[in-house]
Amino acid sequence: MFFYALQGATLALAATLIPGPFQAFLVSYALRNGWKRTLPAAFAPLISDGPVIFLVLFVLVKTPKWFLSLLHVAGGSVILYFAWKVFASLKEQSFNIKPASNAARRTLVGAIAMNILNPSPYIFWSVVAGPILLEGWRQAKTLGVSFISGFYGTFVLSLGLFIFMFGTVGRMNPRLNRVLSTISAWALAVFGLYELWSGISKIIVHMRV
């Protein structure tokens, strides 16, 4: 059991530290709304990854190849939307605007939407984590539960620390806040454009075959 929990924790740390659109999203919103209002987004994978894991392990293997390409297009569009939101906030005269009262809920909903439409979780669970989960589950259900517990326990905690770090640093220095927010906005834009290009190019290839 400990070995599977350790595997899950190790993969969770890697998933947190590897730069991606979800991390850029968390940085941008932690800088914009503060760490307290962004912290609920750390729990987004607990909500969104259930359908993702189900689709990967039981459905995705039976779907046509172009389905994942559509996810790239949808995910890229959502990421570009969030990039536009960050760029729009940067145009305010004062970036340290007071967040809306429902900012925490809206950030959580946005994080869930990004995770569901982002192809990265599907690829991660189909190629890396899914086979380990299935192997453990077939041996004993407790092993599968240990892997899931180790992964999400570490993942949520790591994301929470990630949000706290950037939210705190950004609030301490408004100028640094703007610089980091600009970087995160461009990162989101780049990730979004890449996902769109990847999805559209693959769809064109499928249509030619």
61 pLDDT band (50/70/90 cuts)?
low
The fraction of the chain above a pLDDT of 90, given in percent, is 10
Provide mean pLDDT across the span 141-149: 89
Highest mean pLDDT among 38-52, 66-80, 175-189: 38-52
Look at residue 160 in the predicted model and tell me its pLDDT: 92
Higher pLDDT: 94 or 14? It is 14
Look at residue 157 in the predicted model and tell me its pLDDT: 93
- Are 4 and 132 a contacting pair, CB within 8 Å? yes
Describe the crossing of helices 130-139 and 141-172 by its angle, rounded to 10 degrees. Answer: 140
Provide the mean pLDDT of the chain.
79
Res 101 pLDDT > 80: no
Provide mean pLDDT across the span 158-173: 83
- Are 53 and 126 a contacting pair, CB within 8 Å? no
Look at residue 68 in the predicted model and tell me its pLDDT: 65
Q: pTM for this structure?
A: 0.72
The structural domains of the chain, with segments of one domain joined by +, span 2-208
Give the residue among 37, 27, 4, 16 at the shortest CA–CA distance from 170: 27
Higher pLDDT: 41 or 114? It is 41
- Distance separating alpha carbons of residues 176 and 192, to the nearest angstrom: 24
DSSP-assigned states of every residue in 70-97: HHHHHHHHHHHHHHHHHHHHHTSS-S-P
**Which residues, in sequence order, are CB contacts of 187 under 8 Å at separation 6+?**
19, 21, 24, 27
